[in-house]
Structure 1
Amino acid sequence: MAEPRADDDVYVVEPLLPHRLRRPSDLLRFFATLIVLGAVILLALVAKQTLIGLEADVKEGAELVPLLSRIAAFLGGAAVLIVPVAFAVERVFHRDGLRVAEGLIAAIVGMAGSFLLGQWLVGGNVNDLRVLLTGNRLIEPLNTLLTSVIAYSTAVRISRRPTWRMLMWTTIALYILALFSGRQITIPSAIVTVLVGMAIGYATLYGVGSPNTRPPGNAVVAALRKLSFSPVSARRVEDDHQGSRRYAIGLKDGSSLDVTVLDRDRQVAGLPYRLWRRIRLNSETRRRAIRSLRAELEREALMAYAAQAAGASTPRLLGTSEIGTEAALLAYEHIETRPLDEVPDDEIDDELLAQIWEQVELLQIQRLAHRRLTGDSIHLDRAGRVVLTDARSGEVAAGDLLLRLDVAQLLTYLSLRVGPERSVRAAADVMGPDALAAAMPLLQQIALTRETRAALGKAKHVLPGIREHIVALKPQSKVEEVRLERFRPRTLITIIASAVAAYIVLSQLSQVDVYHVLTTANWAWSGLALVASFASFVAAALMLRGFVPEHLPLWRTVLVQFASSFVKLVAPAAVGGVAINTRYLQKRGIHPASAVASVGASQLIMLVFHISLLALFAYITGSTTPTSFTPSRGLVLVMLAVAVLVVAVLGVPPLRRLVTSRLRKLFSNVLPRLLDVLQSPRKMVEACVGTLMITIMFVLCLDACIAAFGHEISFTAVAVVFLTANAIGSAAPTPGGLGAVELALVGGLVLAGVPKELATSAVLLYRLLTFWLPVLPGWAAFTYLQRHEAL
């Protein structure tokens, strides 16, 4: 704790402010520059021919005006050193030599870094990038002088001085033109050099820190004096949830103030999270990702005044002021309160719950959304009255969606404290059942605050309990479903994985002549592969029929399996079939729980068959000495990999909970369903035959595709390759295991002794017959079944 400091007769008790700070904004700019750098390099590699043409045009233009090139060379070469030196002299005269020292550190790091990076590229480590940056000439990939000048300019924050900024960048542009005219740099090299220099400058700023420009407590006291307050004491208290400083100020008349200080360097705190929410959530629910200091001040002040005008119990805002250019303050009347988080659950009675909802109702009548109704923003004063704080998060003139979000948030928080039944009852008494019914579609974890979402992770029963009690109050309410998310993280992962898979498939296609593959394949074997592919759909229908005690028509069930092949285009392999089959069973009048149990039973038995067949075929193949393919050793590796995966899943609590919850949902009623199947020998035989036939038909299809290109390989070896690749494809998040299956099949066949080109051709033919060809009849089956309300 620092010694108290005096401002006239006022002592400010606060910790000693650090002389230097690592600003989050510098780190964010560093990462943003790296992202832009990566995008530029990737785009330049893709559009290489366009850049070559552009360079030729610029070079031709420079040759048309040789005088301009010479002037640029003269001015740029001299000024690129003179301007930084002049800025350094100006800063030293203003006693800001520390900033110049930071710039020199960045310049040295930039020069050394660009030189080492250039040597690494010249060494031939990344040949495509070297050719891109040098144009295959004997020049530096990155200009060391230019990199150090850019790093220096960034580190001294020359961008904050408009005149110097214009002069510096004009000089840099002339220098680049001079280098380009003399064929000493390429366009990609110039852009990459500038970005590398900026990245080094921002990294230096964050590494060494920046001078602390936050006004200390005595500046806060001085600003309060300008607002006609008479402070006699000042003490720093705990920061708020957004990291803003807070002070408890004693006044001469015996009253007190609660002062919140908004620091400019804290404006970007939490920016990555806010940007992620901005991208992910519906535009009506998101907050602005970043605001200026003054906008933040005005926003909080407006919300505070609006809440007072609405008659809500909130601390009165008594004054606002800027503190220089780096901070601003808001002065509230001080009320002795304690947050609801510190109130024991048994002290939260029905009267207190009613008070909380009455305060929220006052805000909602005036279209004010609080947006942070949690235990740290709901307080109780000494008389037990409710006081709402933290107005900065709020919205004035809020839309219906934001008001409903407030109700959903408060319902959830109070349910965590007193239970869903009491929370819903108290809300209904004040807000009415209609308001709760309108908020019910927004009872989604994504709509709640971070703290509430974390608490729900340990109380998953809360949201379903709230919904049940609201439905009991308003059983016939019809409220449209609200989609808050633009996309889910799982969707993003699927898109990225699909892009990688498409790259893998296209790279495989580039290695073979597709026309040659189709024309040289033995049509007899190809026909056998096509028949086997079709038979796999019949086998899947038999398997499903076997696990459903109720009667299912065979050919309609076969059509459902074809429809699932169409759905695989937009869903992972292990998801599409399960969803389609479950929907089909429900449409056949089977209870949803029984439908899920039947599909779960079929998946479980399929998994058992899969593992058993893999072990059996691997053992048979491993005991066959004439072949060079020895899955007995591969089987050991597979088993070790599976064991490591199982240990990792069981050892990480979040993964363990995720897997067990998913398995519990899928297999919760599987055992009773299996007992029903075992009571019918015909059903049991149908289920086992169908399950076994699926694997045999796919293996036969792959074996026939290999034989179609004139290569012989044991059926058991093909079975091991297929079973392994199929397991990988089921785990892949791409539609139909795209990319993962092809890569695994080709790799397995190559290990089995099949030449790579032939293995690639065989796999492409196999995937054409089993994945791509069934899409069109699958779409027709899907449309037909929907038209006849079978899906």
Structure 2
Amino acid sequence: MSPLPLPLPLPLDDLSVGLPAPVRSPSAARLTRLTLALLPLLSIGAWAAVDWHAVRDGAARLAAADPWWLLAGVFFTCLGWVSAACVRQGALPERLPPGLLLASQFAAGAANHILPASIGAHAVTLRFLQGRGVPLARATASLALYSLVKPLAKTLVLIVFLVALPDALRLGALVPDTSALLLAAGGAALGLATAPLLLMVVRPLRRPALGFVRTALTEARLLHTRPSRVLALWGGAAATPLLQGSVIASVGFSLGLPLSWTQVVLALLLASTAVGAVPAPGGIGPVDAALVFTMVAFGAPMGLATTTVIGYRVLTVWLPLLPGTLVLSALVHRKVL
């Protein structure tokens, strides 16, 4: 009787044949999305615990202010989100849903006050654009155009103010000396030369960088052939500092600040231009100090200027922070972001 033939070993690719397929539980994905939805709330809670004294003092000082002027400040704050949504729409050829776009900018405002240098707002907007079907390269080019147009438009508004009202504004204490101007010019030249030098040294960066520049230039050229996009992009960018200055002026008027609307807006333009490049969450810190200094140079008392800036931060940061964080969590939960 001949022995039975031994079965041939199965190849490695067939070892899984006949075995039950691994069951993937949706609990892990659900837990990840829940964590992402709750993370902004936890961050806001930690930040509030650290900076609680500023919030308490600002709210206490605003309790004695004129409520109608404060209501006007809230109105201008809301218009600021509309302005941001207009600039975002103007930087992209595709038409975005207005309601979701406005909600994303409201949520981006909350994220912007957590991470420095507008990283939070750009991250939220990038996720929103990708969720709308915009490719990553074009979405990134849109963010770059947005980041470029805003300071350019603010500079143009500042020039208009300086040219239109040269005598009504006391700028003597704010004009830097020659050494400061040379230092600023040297820093700007160094920053402009860094990018080409980096591309020359690091060759793997050349192709993606050139591709990004090509995409950004193509998008910008296309957008500037459409008057509606030009109006939304540049008009919204120019309106943003005016609305922010209107919020500060409204808070100042509610407290009796002895400055005009023009002086307050110019103080904001000068302060944000001088230290706006310093990476801080939402510009809090450097811009606040420069804004207080500028308003004092225009003739405002130090204590009143400080209280005005604190009230401005309460209206634009702390008051919408919890609703904005809730909207951010809701958008993440609904997979809009």
TM-score grouping bracket, smaller chain normalisation: 0.7 to 0.9
CA separation of 1:629 and 1:710: change in aligned 2, threshold 3 A:
farther
CA contact 1:574–1:731 (8 Å) conserved in 2:
no
The answer on whether the counterparts of 2:112 and 2:120 sit within 8 Å (CA) in structure 1 is yes
1:537-548 correspondence to structure 2 within 5 Å: 537-548=81-92
Indicate the residue corresponding to 2:41 in structure 1. Answer: none
**1:731 aligned counterpart, secondary structure:** coil
Residue of structure 1 equivalent to 2:79: 535
The alignment status of 1:676 with 2:219, answered yes or no, reads no
Question: Residue 78 of structure 2: SS of its match in structure 1?
Answer: helix
Of residues 549, 565, 578, the one that matches 2:122 is 578
2:264 corresponds to 1:718: yes
- Tell me how far 1:560 sits from its aligned partner: 0.7
Pairwise CA distance, 1:717 = 2.4
Matches within 5 A, 1:370-519: 509=54, 514=58, 516-519=60-63
User: One-letter code of the match for 1:642?
Assistant: A
Structure 1 position 771, deviation (Å): 1.7
Amino acid of the residue matched to residue 770 of structure 1?
T
Q: Does 1:738 align with 2:280?
A: no
Between 1:665-674 and 1:713-722, the stretch displaced more is: 665-674
Amino acid at match of 2:198: R
Is the CA contact (8 Å cut-off) linking 2:87 and 2:236 kept in structure 1?
A: yes
Alpha-carbon distance, 1:743 to partner: 1.2
**Secondary structure, in 3 states, of the residue corresponding to 2:125?**
helix
Do structure 1's residue 567 and structure 2's residue 102 form an aligned pair? no
- Cα distance in 2 between the residues matched to 1:618 and 1:571: 33
CA, structure 1 residues 513+776, in 2 after alignment: closer, same or farther (shift >3 Å)?
A: closer
Q: Distance in 2 between matches of 1:729 and 1:771?
A: 19
AA aligned opposite 1:589: G
Cα separation, partners in 2 of 1:642 and 1:615, compared to 1, 3 Å: farther
Instruction: State the Cα deviation string for residues 518-566 of structure 1 (Å, max 9, x = none).
Output: 2221111111111101110011001111121111111211111111122
Q: Which residue of 1 aligns with 2:184?
A: 642
The aligned residue for residue 607 of structure 1 is 151
Alignment of 1:269-288 (within 5 A): none
Q: CA deviation at 1:738?
A: 2.5
Unaligned segments of structure 2, at least 5 residues: 1-46
Task: Describe the superposition over 1:129-182 as per-residue Cα deviations: whole angstroms up to 9, x where unpaired.
Answer: xxxxxxxxxxxxxxxxxxxxxxxxxxxxxxxxxxxxxxxxxxxxxxxxxxxxxx
Alignment of 1:74-85 (within 5 A): none
State, as a whole percentage, how many aligned pairs show the same letter: 26
Identify the residue that residue 198 of structure 2 maps to in structure 1.
657
Once residues 602 and 548 of structure 1 are traced to their aligned partners in structure 2, the CA distance between those partners, rounded to angstroms, is 9
What CA distance in whole angstroms lies between the structure 2 residues aligned with 1:638 and 1:676? 39
In the superposition, relative to structure 1, how do residues 646 and 729 fare at CA in structure 2: closer, same or farther (>3 Å)? closer
Structure 1: where are the runs of 5+ without partners?
A: 1-498
Aligned residue number for residue 137 of structure 2: 593
In the aligned structure 2, how far is the partner of 1:702 from the partner of 1:635? 28
Partner Cα separation in structure 1 for residue 248 and residue 139 of structure 2:
32
CA distance in 1, matches of 2:176, 2:65: 30
Residue 639 of structure 1 and its aligned partner are, at CA, apart by 5.4
Q: Which residue in the other structure is 2:253 paired with?
A: 707
CA positional deviation for 1:749: 1.1
Q: Deviations over 1:222-266 (max 9, x none)?
A: xxxxxxxxxxxxxxxxxxxxxxxxxxxxxxxxxxxxxxxxxxxxx
What is the alpha-carbon distance in structure 2 between the residues aligned to residue 541 and residue 752 of structure 1? 33
Q: Which has the higher strand share?
A: 1
TM-score, normalization: structure 2? Answer: 0.73
Question: 1:638–1:750: structure 2 CA closer, same or farther, 3 Å change rule?
Answer: farther
| Corresponding letter in the other structure for 1:646 | A
Match of 2:322 in 1: 776
Counterpart for residue 167 of structure 2: 624
1:616 and 1:689 map into 2 onto residues whose CA distance is 14
SS at match of 2:63: helix
Q: Aligned to 2:118, what secondary structure does the other structure show?
A: helix
Judged with a 3 Å threshold, the aligned counterparts in structure 2 of structure 1 residues 514 and 581 are, in CA distance, closer, same or farther, namely closer
* TM-fit CA distance, 1:636: 8.2
Distance 2:197 2:304 in 1: 41
Distance 1:520 1:684, change over 3 A: same
Alignment of 1:33-112 (within 5 A): none
Q: CA deviation at 1:617?
A: 2.0
CA displacement at 1:587 relative to structure 2: 0.7
In structure 1, what is the Cα distance between the partners aligned to 2:264 and 2:112? 24
Label 1:693 to 1:636 Cα distance change in 2 as closer, same or farther (>3 A): farther
Question: Is this contact kept in 2: 1:629–1:753, CA < 8 A?
Answer: no
Tell whether the 8 Å contact from 1:620 to 1:716 is kept in structure 2 after alignment: no
CA distance in 1: counterparts of 2:260 and 2:250, whole angstroms: 11
Q: CA, structure 1 residues 641+719, in 2 after alignment: closer, same or farther (shift >3 Å)?
A: farther
Give yes or no for contact 1:629–1:717 (8 Å, CA) kept in 2: no
Greater displacement, 716-725 / 763-772: 716-725
Matched AA of 2:167: T
Q: Give how far 1:759 is off.
A: 0.3
* Conservation of the 8 A alpha-carbon contact between 1:597 and 1:668: no
C-alpha distance in 1 between matches for 2:177 and 2:99: 38
User: Deviation per CA, 1:456-502, whole angstroms, max 9, x where unpaired?
Assistant: xxxxxxxxxxxxxxxxxxxxxxxxxxxxxxxxxxxxxxxxxxx9xx7
Alpha-carbon distance in 2 for matches of 1:749, 1:769: 19
TM-superposed CA distance for 1:580, in Å, is 1.6
Counterpart contact for 1:587–1:790, Cα < 8 Å: yes
SS at match of 2:255: coil
CA drift at 1:657: 3.1
Shift of 1:656: 5.8
Task: Tell me the distance in 1 between the aligned counterparts of 2:230 and 2:117.
Answer: 25
Query: Which of these residues, 91, 96, 99, is aligned with residue 552 of structure 1?
Result: 96
Is 2:245–2:265's contact at 8 Å kept on the other side of the alignment?
Answer: yes
Q: Matches of residues 154-169 of structure 1 in structure 2 within 5 Å?
A: none
Match of 1:25 in 2: none
Larger helix fraction of residues? 2
Partner Cα distance (1:562, 1:635) in 2: 40
CA distance in 2, matches of 1:682, 1:532: 23
The 1-side partners of 2:118 and 2:229 are apart by 24
- Residue 525 of structure 1 contacts residue 705 of structure 1 at CA under 8 Å; is this kept in 2? yes
**Preserved CA contact (<8 Å) 1:728 1:740:** no
**1:494-516 per-position Cα deviation (integer Å, ceiling 9, x unaligned):** xxxxx9xx79x96xx59x95455
CA contact (8 A) 2:73 2:251 kept: yes
TM, length-normalised to structure 1: 0.33
Quick one: structure 1 residues 752 and 634, their matched pair in 2 at CA, closer, same or farther if it must change by over 3 Å?
Answer: farther
Q: CA deviation at 1:700?
A: 0.8
Return the alpha-carbon distance in structure 2 between the equivalents of residues 568 and 654 of structure 1.
25
- Aligned residue pairs total 283
Whether the 8 Å CA contact 1:619–1:632 is kept in 2: the answer is no
CA contact (8 A) 1:677 1:684 kept: yes
Q: CA RMSD in A?
A: 3.3
Residue number in structure 2 paired with 1:524: 68
Contact 1:573 1:730 in 2 (8 A): no
The answer to whether the 8 A contact 2:107-2:325 is kept is yes
Judged with a 3 Å threshold, the aligned counterparts in structure 2 of structure 1 residues 707 and 779 are, in CA distance, closer, same or farther, namely same
Deviation at 1:739?
Answer: 1.5
Q: Counterparts of 1:632 and 1:744 in 2: how far apart (Å)?
A: 10
2:43 corresponds to: none
Letter in 1 for 2:128: Y
For residues 327-347 of structure 1, give each alpha carbon's deviation from its aligned partner in whole angstroms, at most 9, with x where no partner exists. Answer: xxxxxxxxxxxxxxxxxxxxx
Q: Residues of 1 paired with 2:157 and 2:173: CA distance?
A: 13
C-alpha displacement of 1:732: 2.6
| 1:585 alignment partner AA | L
